[in-house]
Amino acid sequence: MTLELFRDDAYMRDARGRVDAVTSEGGIVLDGTIFYAQGGGQPGDAGMLHWDGGQVAIASTVKGENGAIVLVPEGPGPLPEVGAELRQSLDWDRRHRHMRVHTALHLLSVVLPFPVTGGAIGAEKGRLDFAMEEPIADRDAVEEALNALVARDLEVSEDWITEAELDANPGLVKTMSVQPPRGAGRIRLVRIGAGGDQVDLQPCGGTHVARTGEIGPLKLGKLEKKGRANRRVNVLLA
């Protein structure tokens, strides 16, 4: 199992690591990594690995077997040997944009309190699909409400509950298409706001900014009808 260093600090850009394995496809597994593995609509991280005598560009990061996180090289080339000590560095601008977009989508689910049927996160924009029959009547009002939550500069924090506690509070799960991963005995919650200022609390495994003000201005993008009772809302970083 790979130690998820990004869980301890989503802002860690560089870290040391040791190569635990190289997969048959050429993927690299470290003992611990700052690279987030693709999941929950958030893309896997990209970046670089540097070791004595070589380096390799990482194009993406995915989940492997038995809790391993696999760093996928950009193309064929020299790979570090198992046991090698190296330095890993993120494509920080790309990751930070993912963090901003991901937190923005949580805010969108506050402004539009409908069941979420799907979603995707990119470096420039993100989208959520909602189970809602009627179209948005006033898109300017939605955009204004979204930016008002950003401007409140609310704290973004995490908490953990047991799977049994989640079962007792099914309303915490907003997503219909993606359920929180189970099997570890506990579930990570992402909280936006604290105390009386709390606006959102939901299970999530992704990376987020520390405060909503860090997201910056948002624009509502294309609004699409995806089926009889499903509507897609796109949000763009301004």
Helix (H) or strand (E) holding 190: strand 186-192
- Which pLDDT value is given to residue 91? 98
Closest CA to 136 of 149, 123, 147, 145: 145
What's at 186, amino acid-wise? R
From first to last of its 238 residues, the chain has per-residue pLDDT tens of 999 999 999 999 999 999 999 999 999 999 999 999 999 899 999 999 999 999 999 999 999 999 999 999 999 989 999 999 999 999 999 999 999 999 999 999 999 999 999 999 999 999 999 999 999 999 999 999 999 999 999 999 999 999 888 888 888 888 766 666 655 678 999 999 999 999 999 999 999 999 999 999 999 999 999 988 899 999 999 8
* Residue 223 and residue 135 share a domain: yes
Widest CA span in the chain = 60
**Is-contact 197 214, C-beta < 8 A?**
no
Give the number of domains in the chain. 2
**Is-contact 207 200, C-beta < 8 A?**
no
* Residue 228 and residue 203 share a domain: yes
* Residue 121 and residue 57 share a domain: no
Tokens 């799960």 found at? 173
* Residue 203 and residue 120 share a domain: yes
* Residue 147 and residue 44 share a domain: no
* Residue 50 and residue 131 share a domain: no
Listed residues 59, 90, 121: the one ending a domain: 90
| CATH label of the domain that carries residue 123 | 3.30.980.10
Listed residues 49, 68, 90: the one ending a domain: 90
Listed residues 90, 109, 125: the one ending a domain: 90
Closest CA to 127 of 230, 221, 226, 238: 221
* Residue 183 and residue 103 share a domain: yes
> Is the model's pTM score more than 0.85?
yes
Residue 213's domain comprises: 95-237
| CATH label of the domain that carries residue 28 | 2.40.30.130
Residue 98: strand, helix, or coil: helix
